[in-house]
Structure 1
Amino acid sequence: MLELGPFRVNKDGKTLYRNEYAWNKVANVIFLESPAGVGFSYSNDSSDYTKVGDKRTTKDSYVFLINWLERFPQYKRRDFFITGESYAGHYVPQLAYYILSRNKNTNQTVINLKGIAIGNAWIDDAICMKGMFDYLWTHALNSDETNEGINKYCNFVSEDSVSKKGDGDDNTIQCGKYLSQGFREMGFIDLYDIYAPQCNLSAIKPGSNGNVSTILLNGHLYDILNC
């Protein structure tokens, strides 16, 4: 409803209008909310909400796809693509690999996987952070002082800690200081499009987050979706 779906939400927060640029105009699209408990997805077994992780999400997504194809067999021979953004940098490649490995079992439904696509993929926390601050500096959004401080005190090697190890707690403090300084220097801009007009919440247009939240919080909608 916010970006890719067939409908957008009007200002009244109750009615919809068609999205002119919806993906379902060129493809059959399944929007899968995973892992269980995310969005409107749910499980009848409450333990599923604690047994989480990338591997579990991969297997659950695969089981869903197999069951979906069994229920709608007319789509079995269709080309299949997996797409996602952000943390899908984990989910999409792992699901694709799992599908390919399971497809080798000729006694079960084969998913006709043809490709994957990931936007702004979050694959490794440390590497992504390093790339982001390099980008900010090379595009004049961070000062030389900040860039030098980040390179001096942060190593971006481990996802557990981006501070340089072996030199005591001071490096951790200094690394955090320069990272915070880098974000402040960036200012209120769209990090995904630094040349776009400055973000202004009061200028949000119909169909964006505010109106979507209104309609999704409507109790009547929950009844319709049997949530």
Structure 2
Amino acid sequence: MKKQIPNALTLLNLFCGSIAVILAVNNNFVTAALFVFLGIFFDFFDGFAARKLNVQSELGLQLDSLADMVTSGLVPGIVMFKLLALTLENEIVTEGTWVSNNLDFHLNLPLLPLLGLLITLASAYRLAKFNLDEDQQTYFKGLPTPANTLLIISLPLIIEFQNSNAINSIILNLWFLVILTLVSCYLLNSSIKLFALKFKNYSFKDNSIRYIFILLCVVLLIVLKFAAIPLIILLYIIMSVLDNLTTK
């Protein structure tokens, strides 16, 4: 029975991600972000539970990637699609008609915003590579999909809650979103080694970079709120690169 506990947590991740997809498609980004946060929470603890209960399995690994593909692959792609569409027409364009008698299907989608779905494709490629890579136990090679999702999902939250016209004008700039999409796809599949938030023990000596990173994250979130999330992702990458240089 206990071996199904991690799988149940993984399925809760998938459930939250599926709800987030529906909400994002309907432009309810704030509630979608809430379910993404819940999904990532379950994603973290399914692996934790599997290790503590010593019930890691190949099934759990594959199930975890399938759930991540929805919560941390499809959702950010949809959110970026919506943001790109918003910059083009100031409204989301998703018109479609279906006539069942003669099977005439017409779908009108803006082409440029489909670029946002590159994030979904890059996430799928990254997850497939991760499943085949046996080295990524204590570190990640490339930005993990949950971290990338937090970066993308933070954009509509910043617009909604930060109340800064200057920041909003940057986020809703077409070129900013296009460049961010391409950078996101690169980071997901880059060869940059990033430390994992996995504690084999709780000593400060062995986990100093993790403790310092968590402390800085708390401070940034308190001071900057949702605007801190992109800075936290940047901090994560910089600290990982510096750690790689010092350990060499």
* TM-score class, shorter: under 0.3
Structure with higher Rg: it is: 1
- By percentage of residues, which structure has more helix? 2
What is the TM-score normalised by the length of structure 1?
0.23
Q: TM-score, normalised by structure 2?
A: 0.21
